[in-house]
């Protein structure tokens, strides 16, 4: 039994007919045309993938730029809060708990 270096490719009948027609027109074997078609298809998919990921990067950068401009606008309008919000909330929560406990 002959062992193939690559697994056989399963095609739909219309795909097979189209490849066979291309091979005949180009005076190449069916395998040569199939390899070229797969290579071109993979390159196209890779380019689309790179384009989509690049657009995603640009969208993320636009969002960060927008947030930075909003942050700068808020800082310019209201200034920077110099207090310790976490400590203040903790103190407020503890006071509220103490008040509830004393009411019981």
Residue pLDDT tens, the chain, 104 long:
566 677 777 889 999 999 999 999 999 999 899 999 999 999 998 888 877 776 667 888 889 999 999 999 999 998 888 888 899 999 999 999 988 888 77
Provide the CA 43 distance to its chain's centre, in angstroms: 19
Please state, in angstroms and as integers, the Cα–Cα distance from residue 63 to each residue in 51, 58, 77, following that order: 18, 9, 21
| Whole-structure pTM value | 0.46
80, 84, 85, 91 alpha-carbon torsion, rounded to 10°:
-150
Give the per-residue pLDDT at 2: 62
């Amino acid at each position: 039994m002959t062992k193939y270096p690559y697994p056989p490719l399963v095609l739909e009948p219309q795909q097979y007919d189209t490849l066979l027609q291309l091979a005949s027109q180009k005076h190449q074997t069916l395998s040569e045309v199939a390899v070229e078609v797969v290579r071109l298809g993979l390159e196209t998919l890779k380019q689309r993938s790179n384009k989509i990921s690049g657009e995603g990067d640009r969208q993320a950068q636009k969002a960060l730029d927008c947030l930075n401009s909003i942050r700068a606008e808020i800082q310019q309008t209201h200034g920077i809060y110099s207090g310790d919000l976490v400590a203040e909330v903790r103190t407020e929560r503890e006071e509220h708990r103490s008040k509830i406990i004393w009411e019981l």
